[in-house]
Amino acid sequence: VTREKVREFARATGSDGSEGPGGPGGADSEVPPTFPIVVAFTAMSELMAAPGVGIELHRVIHGDQRFTYTRPVRVGDRLTATLSVDSLRQLGGADIIGTRTEITDERGAPVCTAFATLVHRGPEEQ
Amino acid sequence: VSTTSSLDAVAAGDALPTCTYRVTRADLVRYAGASGDFNPIHWSDRVAGSVGLPGVIAHGMYTMALAARACSTWAGSPDRVREIGCKFTKPVVVPDDDEGVEIVVAGTVKNLTEDGVHVALEVTCGGEKVLGMPKAVLARA
């Protein structure tokens, strides 16, 4: 987690630092709560790209998202995301994929858990 | 760390100060780069139309980031957001103009537990709810 990456994310969502002291990327930098999606999304992308999975990103709808935090993310953290598919069902020709991504720090200690439901609609549904 | 929090003296049923944010196409492009989500439905009308959308839509995570931003403001720090979640129920269509659209984030205190202040959010665009059951748990200072 670099200062510049946090600053880029915070600026994109207008979190200019008025929410807390120091400002995004500042000395006592505070990281926006949804920032862990950066690593969680990388894990989701690897799932989609895995051989035999056959998910196309532009046919994916994000159904829901939830984060629970053990501690806030900090600049300098080295995060690892481990994604599990918790549930898989089909509804009206769409695949509904329930995922859980455990995000841990360089010591393996939990930082946050990201839960996401991805809905994949095949081209035959159009 | 001492910062202004709206949560110091809240009780169940209290409304938190409503936050309004503007979203433009340029914000979506920035967010795509910042988040790594380059799904073309968030920047290409052609691709958005091909999958049945009325036009380019905001990333659900963009709208959720704004909800989290309101929570950070209420709590006095993003570090006090202990849990946040929502369903993405209605796409936020962002027109290709300079004005964009307004997202309004309102919050009501549901109850207080040892985990913190449980808040039910309401996130709307053009008067319509765009997130389903958005809620958060915010720690007090």
List of chain A residues whose C-beta atoms are within 8 Å of the C-beta of residue B7: none
Q: By the CB < 8 Å criterion, does B3 face chain A?
A: yes
Give the amino acid at B49: G
Distance CA A107, CA A104 (A): 8
Specify the residue for token string 């807390």.
A20
The chain-wide mean pLDDT, for chain A, equals 87
Percent of chain A with pLDDT over 90: 66
The string of DSSP codes covering B70-110 is: HHHHHHTSGGGEEEEEEEE-S--B--SSSS-EEEEEEEEEE
Distance CA B85, CA B47 (A): 28
Min CA distance, A64 vs chain B (Å)?
4
Structure-token pair, residue A36? 């862990």
Angle at B122 between CA A112 and CA B31, to 5 degrees: 55
Summary count for chain A: helices (H), strands (E) = 2, 4
Q: By the CB < 8 Å criterion, does A66 face chain B?
A: yes
Distance CA B33, CA A9 (A): 8
Min CA distance, A18 vs chain B (Å)?
8
Residue among A33, A41, A63 whose CB faces B72 most closely = A33
Distance CA B81, CA B135 (A): 11
Residues of chain B with pLDDT under 70: 1-4
Min CA distance, B19 vs chain A (Å)?
12
Q: By the CB < 8 Å criterion, does B20 face chain A?
A: no
The string of DSSP codes covering B32-63 is: HHHH----GGGT-HHHHHHTT-SS-B--HHHH
Whole-number pLDDT of residue A53: 85
Residues of chain A with pLDDT under 70: 16-29, 124-126
Distance CA B67, CA B89 (A): 14
Q: Which residue of B has its CA nearest to A73?
A: B79
Whole-number pLDDT of residue B2: 46
Min CA distance, B25 vs chain A (Å)?
11
Distance CA B103, CA B130 (A): 9
Mutation for testing the B interface, residue in A3, A15, A30, A34 having most B CBs under 10 Å: A34
Interface contacts (A, B; CB < 8 Å):
127
The tens digit of pLDDT for each residue in A5-41 reads: 999 999 999 875 544 444 444 434 589 999 999 999 9
